[in-house]
Amino acid sequence: MSMRISSRAAALIVALAGLSLLTLTCGQIALPLADTVGALTGTQSSDLARQIVLEIRLPRVAAAIIAGAALGMAGVLMQALFRNPVADAWSLGLLAGGQFGVALTVTAAAFAGPAAVAFLTVFEGPSITLAAAAGVAAAALFMLALGRRVGAITLLVIGLMLGFTSQGLTSVLLHFAARAGGRVYGGWQDASFAAVAPAALPWLLAPILIGAGVAVATAKPLSSLLLGETYARSLGVKVTSLRHAVLAATVLLVAPVVAFCGPVSFVGLIAPHFARALAGTARILPLLPLAALGGALLALAGDAIVHAPWEQHFLHLNAILAIVGAPVVILILVFSPAVRQWR
Partner 1 sequence: MLDLRSLAVGYRSAGRALLSGMDVSAEPGAFICILGRNGAGKSTLMRTIAGLQPSLDGVAALGGENVASMRPGTRARRIAVVLTERQFNPGLRVEDMVALARQPFTGWEGRLGDGDRAAIAEAVAVMGIEPFARRYFSNLSDGERQRVMIARALAQTPRLMILDEITAFLDLPSRVEIMALLRSQAKAKGQVVLLSSHDLDLSLQLSDSVWLLDGAGGFSVGTPEALSQSGAVGRAFDTDAIRYSPSQGRFEIRTSESA
Residues in the site for partner 1, rule: CB under 8 A?
A: 79, 83-85, 217, 219-221, 223-224, 226-231, 233-238, 276, 280-283, 285, 336-341
With respect to partner 1, which residue has the nearer C-beta, 101 or 221?
A: 221
With respect to partner 1, which residue has the nearer C-beta, 187 or 280?
A: 280
Helices 94-112, 239-261: axis angle to 10 degrees equals 60
With respect to partner 1, which residue has the nearer C-beta, 109 or 219?
A: 219
- CB of 227: closest distance to partner 1 in angstroms? 6
Burial 269-304 (b: 16+ CB within 10 A, else e): bbbbbbbbebbeebbbbbbbbbbbbbbbbbbbbbbb
CA pseudo-torsion sign 20, 24, 30, 35 = negative
Quick one: how far is CA 297 from the chain centroid? Answer: 12
- CB of 79: closest distance to partner 1 in angstroms? 7
With respect to partner 1, which residue has the nearer C-beta, 6 or 234?
A: 234
- CB of 269: closest distance to partner 1 in angstroms? 12
With respect to partner 1, which residue has the nearer C-beta, 9 or 102?
A: 9
Report the C-alpha gap between 272 and 198 in whole angstroms.
Answer: 29
- CB of 336: closest distance to partner 1 in angstroms? 6
- CB of 81: closest distance to partner 1 in angstroms? 11
Report the C-alpha gap between 246 and 67 in whole angstroms.
Answer: 18
Report the C-alpha gap between 250 and 228 in whole angstroms.
Answer: 20
- Contact 277/151 with Cβ under 8 angstroms? no
